[in-house]
Amino acid sequence: MRIPRIYVACDLATDHTIDLPDSAFQHCCKVLRLKDQHPLILFNGQGGEFEAELVNVEKRKAQVRIGAFRHLENESPLRVTIGQSLSRGERMDYAIQKAVETGVFAIQPLFSERCEVKLSEARLDKRLQHWQQVAISAAEQCGRGIVPQILEPQLLSDWVTKCNQSLKFVMHHHCAVPLQQIQTPTDHTIAALIGPEGGLTENEVEIAKSHGFLPLTLGPRVLRTETAPVVILTAVNLMWGDLQPA
């Protein structure tokens, strides 16, 4: 039996019964057509998950009885923040989804010089909500108990000046510094700056370098902007995180 895993933005506690949020009700009871006593897994992004079951399923609402808590041990020991230049269409969604699956801690959307995405304040708020939902769905799917935060977009130049992670990379395919020569981050915090479809300008690379970002390439091929987060997260977790060989 498939047990749906559902994110709910509320406090959860064993032996409590809560109303199923509208979006979760639509998915569980309208799309999946689940009935009373069907098991669920609930999590609220604060770590861990709860066994649960549907109760009191009605036409427009349902409740969930919360059972035992399960602690999860699937978060990377690295706290990696991806500075992701905004991209068009589904590329940003893909970058966020796959970054969550590969263990990102947070994602900072950035406006860069070659960024072609122009958003009004109202559209920006909607996109931010959408991107956070993409992260929630990815966390549901991959079994994480914590949902990475999608931070409010800002200018690339502003972010690099404030970035205080112990190890900072600017992804730049003209650089020949291999990851193997980089020392282990002292406090396991890492930032990685990724350019848009047209890449970072030389000026942006120089600004990043002047604020402690190390130019880094991940092989001889040029990566798409939505591919780069997956590659850098996989690489650093192979080096220092939870993908190291046994």
Contact (CB, 8 A) for 28 and 40: yes
Supply the pLDDT for residue 17.
95
The sign one gets for the Cα dihedral 240, 168, 230, 48 is positive
Per residue of the chain (246 residues), what is the pLDDT tens digit? Answer: 689 999 999 999 999 999 999 989 898 988 989 899 999 999 999 999 999 999 988 988 999 999 999 999 999 999 999 999 998 879 999 999 999 999 999 999 999 988 877 777 778 889 999 999 999 999 999 999 999 999 999 999 999 999 999 999 998 876 667 787 788 788 899 999 999 988 899 999 999 999 999 998 887 888 899 999 999 999 999 999 988 776
pLDDT at 246: 64
Separation CA 21–CA 48 (nearest Å) = 19
> How far does Cα 138 stand from its chain's mean position?
8
Q: Which of 83, 78, 80, 81 is nearest to 171 (CA)?
A: 83
- Give the dihedral of Cα atoms 63, 65, 71, 74; nearest 10 deg: -30
Kindly state the tokens that stand for 133.
């939902």
Query: Which domains are assigned to the chain?
Result: 5-70 (2.40.240.20), 79-239 (3.40.1280.10)
Cα angle 151, 28, 19 (rounded to 5 degrees) comes to 75
Q: Where are the alpha helices (DSSP H) in 8-77?
A: 22-25
**Residues found in the chain:** 246
pTM of the model: 0.92
| DSSP code at position 146 | B
What pLDDT is attached to residue 153? Answer: 93
| 52: CB partners within 8 A, 6+ apart | 39, 40, 41, 42, 64, 65, 66, 67
Contact status, residue 213 vs residue 78, Cβ threshold 8 Å = no
